[in-house]
Structure 1
Amino acid sequence: MLRFRVRLPKGKEPVSMDLDGTTTWGSFVQSISSLTDVPCSQLRILSGFPPRPVEVGDGAASIASVLPGGGNVIVQVGEADVVKGKTEGRYVPPVDGKWHFVRRVCPSDNSCLFHAAAYVLRNKSRVDGPSLRKECADIVQAYPNVFNEKTILDRPNREYVDFIRNPNAWGGAIELMVLSFLTQTEIVALDLTSSNVLHFGEDNNYTVRAYVVFNGQHYDAIAMNPMFNSPQESEDQVLFSSTDAEVLNRARRFVADEAKKLRLR
């Protein structure tokens, strides 16, 4: 019997699945399709560390031959087959050149990083910050050989997990790196005080990018909207192509303008 912890596209908690090793890959994918209401052809399944797409040519292959150890599985939607040719990774449409960046202010409650990340990584969610904090802790706990004091953590794995689960603990660069890995999304953090730009996950060939801003003490999300300074968050675009240099340049200009406003206050 193999045990899987499956992270679904919009699920707040991983789903546990216990499968016999002889279960076919096709049956496994069909089960995920039933859980997500997403056609099998649009599902993208990742495993390993860092997570990589699982490519199986024969749906009759046993799950034991594909993922012999069980473990963590990440499910994404879409293989970008709307793009001409063979495209790997998620696809986001190009942004309209007339759209504007807008800052979405997040609560100052010691979880601002997770609120900002939830907005850009969880489809503009204003409520998923706490669950992202928990997912961050869970993924670190699941990979102690990767996340430890000898690699990127500033303390032992177990101590860090207990620390970041505390709702009063601030998040920062470590958490952005973990969330980038968790969501398979490059995260760009732009500093309002120094104009520095930090990239998280840029070496992993992620096709999608999200943006947050910070001032040394607080994080907010930024998005693009068809109207200047629009309050209509439902119209925001929060994910962009990681190869779109123009969007990155526009984000830099927007942050520079925001920094000037802060200095004038």
Structure 2
Amino acid sequence: MRIRLKSPHGNAIVSLSETNERVETVFKDVIAPNNAELFKDQTVVAIKSGFPPKPIDLQAKLGDVIQNGDQLILELAGQTAADPTTPQSKQKKVATETEQLVNKLEIPSISIPDIDQYLILRNIPDDNSCMFNAIAYALGKPFDYSQDLRLVVSNEISQDPITYNEIILGRSNDNYCSWISKKDSWGGAIELGILLKTLNLRINCIDIELGNFIKFEDESSNPTNFINLIYSGVHYDLLVTNPTLSVDHKDKSSDLGKWSIDFEPVINQYSNKLLKLLQLRNYTTNTTTFRVRCLQCYQVLVGETGASKHANDTGHYNFGEVDK
């Protein structure tokens, strides 16, 4: 079995013969020791595969969840793997203290001295509803509110078949309404255009690859609030402000993701600085030129459009990037 690995430190193609061991065991005992440059003494906290990337079960047998040719994206914790010669009680204490420090250092964020706040990127789950979930989070709503947002979009499109015709939608009006109502259908510019009118918001979509701000708004409604979405090529995250830099659930309850237009100059100034940091971390995917292979029928597809169409036509959702 040959698999392709991507980590924050680089890429590698790895050959494996043992597939009956747990994923976590194989990575810890086989892959990490032989590919030190990918791990830099950091431990694996999540492994994602498919398109869009989704976490795989680290406790499952490798052969049950990973196939030959898969591309795997590694998410690493900042702490150094514990020394097996250190007493267990001391290992736990050191890991806990280190993890707290890492949380402060590795959360994508930037300080805004003007308002004594941090501007923080909040990761939204990779579940095909990321755009809707990001907007729900910004509004202070739970993620299941995203289904209400889908209903708003579906109703607007169904009531205006002239504006939202087959040419604009790429499919019939009825078919699109049915499709966008499903929780695994991706939202984009059409949905943003509808929601900003309903919510009376300006939505700034920050494209990491292009390095620019794409402003969505209904100028006739003169919105008084705005939100900033981060778009990495295949995924939406959200920017928030918080006086505390933390990923603790209690601290995150103070997140503010919808701001008055009056604060837009300073928020966008620091959003642009955070954008440059994300570019340095290569927090992006080129959705137009990247090639993926369907791992169910092995067809090679180009870009997000090709992968999406193939998924809709065939029901195949397991993709891996093609080596260049």
Give the TM-score of the pair, scaled to structure 1: 0.57
* Shift in Å, 1:159: 2.6
* Shift in Å, 1:149: 4.3
Q: Find 1:217's aligned residue among 220, 234, 248.
A: 234
Residues 185-222 of structure 1 show CA distances to partners (whole Å, capped at 9, x for unaligned) of 11111112221211111523211101111111111111
Matches within 5 A, 1:135-214: 135-149=152-166, 152-201=168-217, 203-204=219-220, 205-214=222-231
The equivalent of 2:46 in structure 1 is none
C-alpha separation between the residues in 2 aligned to 1:198 and 1:156? 27
C-alpha separation between the residues in 2 aligned to 1:102 and 1:258? 12
Paired amino acid for 2:185 = A
The equivalent of 2:294 in structure 1 is none
CA 1:251–1:132: 2 relative to 1, 3 Å: same
Which stretches of structure 1, 4 residues or more, deviate above 4 A after TM superposition?
none
C-alpha separation between the residues in 1 aligned to 2:234 and 2:283? 16
Paired amino acid for 1:98 = D
Give the TM-score of the pair, scaled to structure 2: 0.47
Percentage identity across paired residues of the two chains: 27
Indicate the larger mover: 152-161 or 102-111.
152-161
Residues 39-81 of structure 1 show CA distances to partners (whole Å, capped at 9, x for unaligned) of xxxxxxxxxxxxxxxxxxxxxxxxxxxxxxxxxxxxxxxxxxx
Higher RCO (CA-CA < 8 Å; seq separation 6+): 1
* Shift in Å, 1:148: 3.1
C-alpha separation between the residues in 1 aligned to 2:272 and 2:233? 17
CA 1:96–1:234: 2 relative to 1, 3 Å: farther
Is 1:257 matched up with 2:282?
A: no
User: What do you get for the CA RMSD once the two structures are aligned?
Assistant: 2.4
Q: Find 1:235's aligned residue among 254, 267, 288.
A: 254
Rg larger in 1 or in 2?
A: 2
Q: Secondary structure at the match of 1:103?
A: strand
Indicate the larger mover: 156-165 or 207-216.
156-165
C-alpha separation between the residues in 2 aligned to 1:248 and 1:154? 33
CA 1:169–1:101: 2 relative to 1, 3 Å: same
Task: Select the structure that is richer in helix.
Answer: 2
The equivalent of 2:148 in structure 1 is 131
C-alpha separation between the residues in 2 aligned to 1:149 and 1:186? 27
The equivalent of 1:109 in structure 2 is 127
Contact 2:246/2:252, CA 8 A, preserved across alignment: no
CA 1:258–1:165: 2 relative to 1, 3 Å: same
Contact 1:102/1:230, CA 8 A, preserved across alignment: no
The equivalent of 1:226 in structure 2 is 243
Q: Secondary structure at the match of 1:190?
A: strand
The equivalent of 1:246 in structure 2 is 266
C-alpha separation between the residues in 1 aligned to 2:120 and 2:128? 22
C-alpha separation between the residues in 2 aligned to 1:174 and 1:182? 13
C-alpha separation between the residues in 2 aligned to 1:108 and 1:255? 20
* Shift in Å, 1:130: 2.3
Structure 1: gaps (5+ residues): 1-94
C-alpha separation between the residues in 2 aligned to 1:263 and 1:199? 21
Contact 1:101/1:223, CA 8 A, preserved across alignment: yes
The total of aligned residue pairs comes to 168
* Shift in Å, 1:235: 0.8
Residues 106-130 of structure 1 show CA distances to partners (whole Å, capped at 9, x for unaligned) of 111111111111111x314233122
Paired amino acid for 2:245 = F
The equivalent of 2:302 in structure 1 is none
* Shift in Å, 1:229: 4.5
Paired amino acid for 1:99 = Q
Residues 157-199 of structure 1 show CA distances to partners (whole Å, capped at 9, x for unaligned) of 2232122112222111111111111211111111122212111
The equivalent of 1:49 in structure 2 is none
Structure 2: gaps (5+ residues): 1-112, 285-324
Paired amino acid for 1:116 = A
Contact 1:124/1:233, CA 8 A, preserved across alignment: no
Q: Secondary structure at the match of 2:144?
A: coil
Paired amino acid for 2:116 = K
